[in-house]
Amino acid sequence: MSRSGNSAHAHDLWVFGYGSLMWRPGFHYEEVRRATLVGYRRCFCVYSTHHRGTEQRPGLVLGLDRGGTCHGLAFRVAAGRRIETLEYLTAREQVSGVYRDALVPVSLEGEPREEVLALAYIVERRHPSYAGQLSLAEQAQLIRGARGISGPNLDYLINTIAHLESLGIHEPELKRLLSIIGPQFSRSSFNGQGRSGAVALLKIYRNQPVEAPRLKLGERRRFIHRRQISAWASRSRAT
């Protein structure tokens, strides 16, 4: 396996998706390839108070945490769309500064097999929204009763599993988590019945108290600088 040597795409941007970016990238891309990132794993380790939860009722979303291997998708963005794509991703991913953006080596599947540097969003363990290694029961408690501006937290889990399954990527731990939330979901989530079940669970559990840290204003200001850093870096990388 060798680094990509295609000079025609030398200045294009590769973006590694491991969660919602896989099934809702939100940016224009030229091609998409299955890809593998070694050294990081996909896990529910980030409290969400924006996309899949609120300050009053946090949810839980995926992050790339140290250790293991992650199979996902790599999107190639044309050089001319680099800045607009980075600005979009900064606005989407760096709401609270819980991620740090990094260029990481990913192995592309298919032909030709090659290794490229791709932009990935890796969880910042010092951030107050970093949940660490929660038990599956704790993850289920947070996910089943949370909803943010992007919809129910449970939809996020269901969509992630469904897309991974469609790619032939099997994540037994995520499927165990879904079964804990509700055995019916392991049977019906992928045939169109998942969303109605997620809404029903929300009505039951949305007022159930959960233990999750509140991101104080001072802490938010401490980490929100990542948005400015990412915006500056996006322009620097394009020149």
Angle at 16 between CA 14 and CA 22, to 5 degrees: 120
Instruction: Please say if 93 is a catalytic residue.
Output: yes
Q: How far apart are CA 73 and CA 36, in angstroms?
A: 8
Count Cα neighbours of 200 within 13 Å in the Cβ-side half-sphere.
9
Tokens found for residue 39: 């050294």
Q: What are the residues facing 44 on neighbouring strands?
A: 62
What is the spatial distance between Cα 224 and Cα 94, in angstroms, rounded to a whole number? 8
CA distance 69 to 71: 7
Backbone torsions φ then ψ of 125, nearest 5 degrees = -65, -20
36, 68 contact by CB (below 8 A):
no
The contacts of residue 99 (CB under 8 Å, 6+ apart) are 63, 93, 121, 122, 123, 124, 226
Q: How far apart are CA 77 and CA 215, in angstroms?
A: 34
The catalytically annotated residue of 30, 31, 87, 93 is 93
The catalytic site residues sit at: 93
